[in-house]
Structure 1
Amino acid sequence: MTAAPSHDLDLTLARKVLDAQPFSRLVGARITAYEEGRATLEIPLREELRQQNGFVHGGVLSYAADNALTFAAGTALGGAVLTAGFSIQYVRPALGSTLLARAEVVHAGRRQAVVRCDLLTVDAEGAETLCAVAQGTVLAANG
């Protein structure tokens, strides 16, 4: 039996990778946790990220899920990964001052990982509210 590959988990490097994505800079995303099998993305919520009813736009939630899923998968598969697909279920309108996307690897093989992500909003008092859940498959780009 061979040991699972060890990947260098460097939060500073993960932040540089995220910052290299122009869209991530546009929405103000940042990685606040990056450890074996897990990643957390945060987005400060501002008016431009909301839809006409004042809720965070579903596209922002989907973006956050997609990136959190791939960063979490990258801890298991290595840094070069691509989303094969994901689904998202919106459970309540997103309101708050910050969006959190907390992703965790459910299962990882050599070439793909299945990852789950909870999307939560944080209000001014720090209370978290679940607003969506996502699950996806991420592939190793070099596999």
Structure 2
Amino acid sequence: MEFLEHGRAVLAAQPFSQMVGAELTRFVPGEAEIALPVTDQLKQQNGFVHGGVLAYLADTALTFAGGSVLKGVLTSEIKVNYTRPGLGQRLIARASVLSHGKTQAVCRCDIFALQDGAEKLCAAAQGTIVKVSLPD
């Protein structure tokens, strides 16, 4: 199965990802991009995208990037810096592997809000993705 097609099948198997409308738009070894439409259900009381949604995007994109170089992974840790409110029509998370060995990958992710055709950085994240033995 093609890399992107396989990644999309994995994302489609995640009920939460489906609920928020996430889409894997790029997936190559060492990199992943996930986008989702901004809807009213994803906003907090001031009209910004909720920080939990940005953290979800970072976590998922980081794990996909790490999983592209290590098979069978989970997030071990993540740190998210919010740089500006998430405002716009669409969010785009771009993650890449900074370094990896046989059992872990350190990855970074930038999340952009697309508003009226312009991308604005709204969060930056880093995480450690680890190889695990998943139960059958």
Fold match (TM-score > 0.5): yes
1:84 aligns with 2:88: no
Q: CA offsets, 1:12-51, max 9 Å, x none? A: 1100100100000000001000011100000110100000
Q: Which residue of 2 aligns with 1:34?
A: 27
Letter in 2 for 1:142: S
Cα distance in structure 1, aligned partners of 2:42 and 2:128: 26
Q: How many pairs were matched up?
A: 134
Could you tell me how far apart the structure 2 residues matched to 1:111 and 1:91 are? Answer: 31
Partner of 2:66: 73
Matches within 5 A, 1:4-83: 10-78=3-71, 80-83=72-75
TM (norm. structure 1) is 0.90
Which residue is 1:120 aligned to?
112
The CA deviation at 1:64 is: 0.3
Deviations 1:98-128 (A, max 9, x none): 001100000010000000000100013x210
Structure 1 counterpart of 2:126: 135
Query: Structure 2: which 5+ residue stretches go unaligned?
Result: none
Runs of 4+ in 1 over 4 A off after TM superposition: none
